[in-house]
Chain A
Amino acid sequence: MSIQIKDELNLIPVKTYRWLNVNHLKIDEVLDKEIKTYHKKYADEGNHENILIGRTNKVFSLNKYTDGFKDEIEYGVSKEIVQMAEGMNNAGIFALLKRGKEVNQPIRVEYEMDDEEDVLIDKNIIIAEEYSKATFVVDYSTRGDEEAFHNGVMKVYAKEGSDVKIIKVQRMNDNSYHFDSNVAIVEKGAKVSFIQVEFGCKRAVTNYISNLKDESQSDVYAIYLGDKDRELDLSYYMNHIGRRSISNMEVKGVLKDRAKKIFKGTIDFKLGSSKSTGREEEAVILFDKSVKSDAVPLLLCTEDDVNGQHAASAGRVDDDKLFYMMSRGFSREEAMKLIVEASFNPIIDKIPFEGVRGIIREEIHNRLVMEVKR
Chain B
Amino acid sequence: MDVQRKTYVEDLDRSIYDVKDEFRYSYKADKGLTAEIVKDISRRKNEPQWMTDFRLRSLDIYNKLEVPVWGPNLDDLDIDNIVTYVKPNTDMKYNWNEVPEDIKDTFERLGIPEAERKSLAGVGAQYDSEVVYHNLQEDMARQGVIYTDMETAVREYPDIIRKYFMTVVPPHDHKFVALHGAVWSGGSFVYVPKGVKVEIPLQSYFRSNAPGAGQFEHTLIIVDEGAFLHFIEGCSAPKYSVNNLHAGCVELIVKAGARLRYSTIENWSKNMYNLNTKRAVVEKNGTIEWISGSFGSKVSMLYPMSLLKGEGAKAEFTGITFAGEGQILDTGAKVVHAAPYTTSNINTKSISKNGGVAVYRGSLSITPNAYHSKATVSCESLMLDNKSRSDTIPVVDIRNDEVDIGHEAKIGRISEESIFYLMSRGISEEEARAMIVRGFVEPIAKELPLEYAVEMNNLIKLELEGTIG
Contact = CB atoms under 8 A, between A and B. Distances in A.
Interface of A: 14-18, 20, 22-23, 255, 269, 271, 274, 286-316
16 contacts: A14-B393, A20-B397, A274-B386, A286-B400, A291-B401, A295-B396, A297-B407, A297-B409, A298-B391, A304-B384, A304-B385, A305-B386, A306-B413, A309-B408, A309-B411, A314-B398
Contacts of A288: 401
B398 A14 contact: no
B407 A311 contact: yes
Interface in B20-63: none
B406 interface: yes
Given A15-B70, A305-B413, A306-B412, A22 B401 contact: no
Interface residues of B, number: 43
Interface of B: 4, 68-71, 334, 361, 363, 365, 368, 371, 381, 383-386, 388-413, 469
Nearest to B70: A15
* Residue from B4, B391, B396 whose CB has the most chain A CB atoms within 10 Å: B396
A253 to B, nearest CB: 12
A269 B403 CA distance: 32
Nearest to A303: B386
Given A271-B386, A304-B383, A304-B386, A315 B409 contact: no
A299 B70 contact: no
* Residue from A16, A291, A306 whose CB has the most chain B CB atoms within 10 Å: A16
B163 to A, nearest CB: 26
Nearest to B399: A292
A294 B389 CA distance: 26
Contacts of A314: 396, 398, 403, 405
A294 to B, nearest CB: 5
A309 B409 contact: yes
Given A17-B70, A299-B392, A313 B409 contact: no
Contacts of A293: 396-399
Given A15-B70, A289-B368, A299-B392, 15 more contacts: A14-B70, A16-B70, A18-B68, A289-B402, A291-B399, A296-B396, A297-B409, A304-B385, A304-B388, A306-B413, A308-B412, A309-B409, A312-B396, A315-B404, A316-B401
Contacts of B393: 14, 16, 296, 298
Given A289-B400, A291-B401, A304-B385, A309 B395 contact: no
Nearest to B365: A20
Contacts of B412: 306-308
Nearest to A290: B368
Contact of A16 (B361, B403, B411, B413): B361
Contact of A301 (B383, B407, B408): B383
A198 B390 CA distance: 32
Nearest to A300: B391
A14 B391 CA distance: 10
Contacts of A308: 409-412
Contacts of A271: 386
B13 to A, nearest CB: 24
Given A301-B411, A304-B385, A305-B386, A296 B395 contact: yes
Given A16-B70, A289-B368, A307-B412, A22 B395 contact: yes
B408 A286 contact: no
A295 B406 CA distance: 11
